[in-house]
Structure 1
Amino acid sequence: MTADQVKGKGFRGALRYNLQKVDQGVAKILDMSFTSGKEDAIMQEVALVRMLRPSLQKYFYHTSLNFPPNENLADEQMNIIANEYLNNMGFDQHQYAIFRHFDADHPHLHILVNRIGYDGKVVSDSKDYQRSEQVLRRLEKQHGLTEVISSRQAQERAMTKNELEMMKRTDEPSVKMKLQVLIKNVLSEKPAATQFIQQLEAQGINVLFNQASTGFVSGISYGYEGMLFKGAHLGNAYKWQAVKNVISYEQERDRTAIYQANLRTREQPSARTGQSAGGGTATGADADTKVTAGNRKDVQQGTGKLQDQIGKANRKYKQAAGTDGQHGNQPRLSDTKDSQQRGTNLQGQPSGRQQVGYQALPDSDLIGSLLGTDHHAGDMDQTALNEFKRKRKKRKGQRMG
């Protein structure tokens, strides 16, 4: 029997999922502490208990108990096992609901619990995975169920559901399984560290050690067929602590060979499993770097477009100003004397300033909005500004007189 645990902030989503399964006829309610099996009524009762600890965010606890296909127990026995599991995990004074599902190839239960008890106390989630395993092992013996080897005892990681499905489709073992076999064969010969590396590389396995500058090694990963696995992902027997006890290893003697093996591994193409050939996963710092680099690229592209638009406007300005300049009549922005004559130069022809303000700067509205100004570029007339200052100064003098 195995258990998958989830802790979260929301009770309603999981509750609705299980109630929908009941409505579809692929699940049933074995037991619950609520007075009604309706979603809204259950959530109202949950809300009342939550008031005892309103600051607690992750108050929801959900676990699924999974049995082997051959252990198709009666509802009553499964309900007893589920309640004993809850009591042993510390949920003896808490709201709960137990659902049995029939939508998989193995019998399983879904248990929804409020971590906040009726007395306001909260069940700690510290080391809850270890506690859950201990409870499961006791229940297996108590009820005569198939005993599952604990993760601490397991030397090899079992196939995942996806690996099993892929093996059915391709009729060949997964990369992880093939890697486990190859490494196990090399370890069975108990080679020296140098030979261990050489024999693995001869079979297409690149080794990456977590080596400090002092030469101390604290971990190991294996690259095979474009994928990179930490030793812990393959099983306890493939961790460095187990490997170094099998092979002949001395830190000072083997530090150069290990360093060179790391260089060869890092030269390999990046792994496909979400882990880089450098040994780190694509999550964390590496993923952040990629995202950040992408954002920087986007910003650079956006800035370049703006610079292009401004550059085009400047070129159009120079062209417009140079047109009149070819005839020796290039106007300045201060050529006009009256704001009523802004569209006409001294010869009665359209002025260069108007061309600059409206024709040579077709994107001036965009530039203005980016700069935060509320006025059109054509309104920024120095002569008009000077005239305004002169009149204001004159009015101020009159008031003082």
Structure 2
Amino acid sequence: MTGDQVKGKGFRGALNYNLEKVNKGVAKWLDTSFAQHDERTIMDEVKMIRVLRPNLAKYFYHTSVNFPPHENLKDDQMLTIAKDYLEAMGFDQHQYAIFRHFDADHPHMHILVNRIGYDGTVLSDSKDYQRSEQIIRKLEKQYGLTEVISSRQAKERAMTKNELEMMKHTDEPSVKMKLQVTIKNILNQKPIAEQFISQLKAQGINALFNQASTGFVSGISYGYEGMQFKGAHLGNAYKWQAVKNAINYEQERDRTAIYQANVRTRANQSERTGQSTSTGATERTIADTKVTAGNRNDVQQGTGKLQDQIGKANRNNIKAAQPVGEHSGQPIISNKKHRGERGADLSIQQSGRQQMVNSAILGGNLIGNLLGVDNNAGDMDQNAVNQFKRKKRCRYRP
């Protein structure tokens, strides 16, 4: 099994995504804590719990659990695994919804959870990616499922979606794959550290070591074709801890060679930066780095498509939503002198500004809307939240 996780500020986008799949007949409900299966009832129940923690930004948790194609589990088996997963993650007193999807070549399910519990406590998200992976490994053994190598055990990082697409267009291996193959061949020769550096350089790879003033080295990264990769981005076999055990390395003997390698690499980086600025290639460099340097999804085992797919389901709500109020988007100017009139006028200004902000949010990108606040102003009892905040401020007023 693999897990692809998303945390955000809005429940509605992910809910609509799954409900749309159900309406199209490519998904089904497995279980839920909500009284009914319609959007309005679910959002009403969510806001009742959310008001307990109105200042919590990311209260929403969503994960897709994916199984290999040959493990076509029955609904009750998948539901049992889902509930065990929720309990092990600590979501045993939280609102949830579980869907099974049939729109891919492998069985998978989507789990939506409110991080705010029924008693108002919030489940910590500290190291939740690592915890999720550990739980999935245990569930594989418990139910006799195909065991997947964990990200900690994997010696090489798999290609990302962007790298696969690039390979299709260029019909060439990705830069990361080239690096992995080249470095692996050099390491298999078991060279001394100075030879390792020179052989990398001969292949166009500039090594950059994290070297302290004492000569101690704690990390390594590789520069290749204008891009920089940390060892961890290539895989565990390319981290310094593994590299120094694969080569003949002595700290005192090799500290000068490593220092000189760092000087050359930094000089090349400075030269490349200057050329990029003068030729207008900065945007390309930034784009390549985003594709290859790795991101949080590299740590996860998921497909990385979850956010994009959910964002599409929220498009109709974004287009349909409109600013409310005659002052929306218009600045309010007043010359009234009376204190009461000025106070009322200030309130109108604040209302206008708030509606302008809401309008800006609605016009943002899809992912921003998905992970932003829920679009419809009726999703949450705002009056209750405002009253809660006013009481909290009055409590500390001298």
Query: TM-score under structure 2 normalisation?
Result: 0.65
Q: Deviations over 1:349-398 (max 9, x none)?
A: xxxxxxxxxxxxxxxxxxxxxxxxxxxxxxxxxxxxxxxxxxxxxxxxxx
1:202 CA displacement: 1.4
1:275 CA displacement: 8.9
CA distance in 2, matches of 1:173, 1:75: 40
Please tell me whether the aligned partners of residues 276 and 282 of structure 1 are also in contact (alpha carbons under 8 angstroms). no
My pick for the range that moved more, 210-219 or 34-43, is 210-219
CA distance in 1, matches of 2:239, 2:209: 11
CA distance in 2, matches of 1:170, 1:105: 26
Identity across the alignment (%)? 77
Please tell me whether the aligned partners of residues 228 and 273 of structure 1 are also in contact (alpha carbons under 8 angstroms). no
- For 1:173-252, what aligned pairs fall within 5 Å after superposition? 173-252=173-252
Bigger relative CO (Cα 8 Å, ≥ 6 apart): 2
1:227 counterpart letter in structure 2: M
1:184 counterpart letter in structure 2: K
Segments of 5+ residues of structure 2 without an aligned counterpart are 277-283, 296-398
Segments of 5+ residues of structure 1 without an aligned counterpart are 284-401
Q: Which residue of 2 aligns with 1:368?
A: none
2:258 counterpart letter in structure 1: I
1:9 counterpart letter in structure 2: K
Q: Deviations over 1:324-363 (max 9, x none)?
A: xxxxxxxxxxxxxxxxxxxxxxxxxxxxxxxxxxxxxxxx
2:62 counterpart letter in structure 1: H
- For 1:165-180, what aligned pairs fall within 5 Å after superposition? 165-180=165-180
CA distance in 2, matches of 1:127, 1:179: 30
Q: Which residue of 2 aligns with 1:54?
A: 54
CA distance in 2, matches of 1:51, 1:144: 42
CA distance in 1, matches of 2:30, 2:166: 34
SS in 2 for 1:97: strand
1:140 CA displacement: 0.8
Q: Which residue of 1 aligns with 2:73?
A: 73
Please tell me whether the aligned partners of residues 227 and 275 of structure 1 are also in contact (alpha carbons under 8 angstroms). no
2:260 counterpart letter in structure 1: Q
Please tell me whether the aligned partners of residues 62 and 110 of structure 1 are also in contact (alpha carbons under 8 angstroms). yes
CA distance in 1, matches of 2:112, 2:227: 37
CA distance in 2, matches of 1:215, 1:95: 53
CA distance in 2, matches of 1:275, 1:243: 29
Q: Which residue of 2 aligns with 1:84?
A: 84
CA distance in 2, matches of 1:170, 1:70: 32
Q: Which structure has the larger Rg?
A: 1
CA distance in 2, matches of 1:130, 1:143: 20
Q: Which residue of 1 aligns with 2:64?
A: 64
CA distance in 1, matches of 2:14, 2:252: 55
Q: Which residue of 1 aligns with 2:93?
A: 93
- For 1:1-400, what aligned pairs fall within 5 Å after superposition? 1-266=1-266, 267-268=268-269, 269-270=272-273, 274=286
CA distance in 1, matches of 2:128, 2:248: 38
1:222 CA displacement: 1.1
CA distance in 2, matches of 1:167, 1:106: 23
CA distance in 1, matches of 2:42, 2:176: 44
CA distance in 2, matches of 1:127, 1:114: 18
SS in 2 for 1:87: helix
CA distance in 2, matches of 1:259, 1:276: 28
1:282 CA displacement: 12
2:54 counterpart letter in structure 1: P
Q: Deviations over 1:187-226 (max 9, x none)?
A: 1121111100111111222211222344332211112233
Please tell me whether the aligned partners of residues 274 and 282 of structure 1 are also in contact (alpha carbons under 8 angstroms). no
1:116 counterpart letter in structure 2: I
Alpha carbons of 1:72 and 1:225: their partners in 2 closer, same or farther (altered >3 Å)?
A: farther
Please tell me whether the aligned partners of residues 233 and 294 of structure 2 are also in contact (alpha carbons under 8 angstroms). no
1:169 CA displacement: 4.6
CA distance in 2, matches of 1:24, 1:172: 38
My pick for the range that moved more, 110-119 or 166-175, is 166-175
Q: Deviations over 1:83-138 (max 9, x none)?
A: 11111111112110112223333322111001122233322222222221121011
SS in 1 for 2:20: helix
1:151 counterpart letter in structure 2: S
Alpha carbons of 1:282 and 1:88: their partners in 2 closer, same or farther (altered >3 Å)?
A: closer
Alpha carbons of 1:102 and 1:282: their partners in 2 closer, same or farther (altered >3 Å)?
A: closer
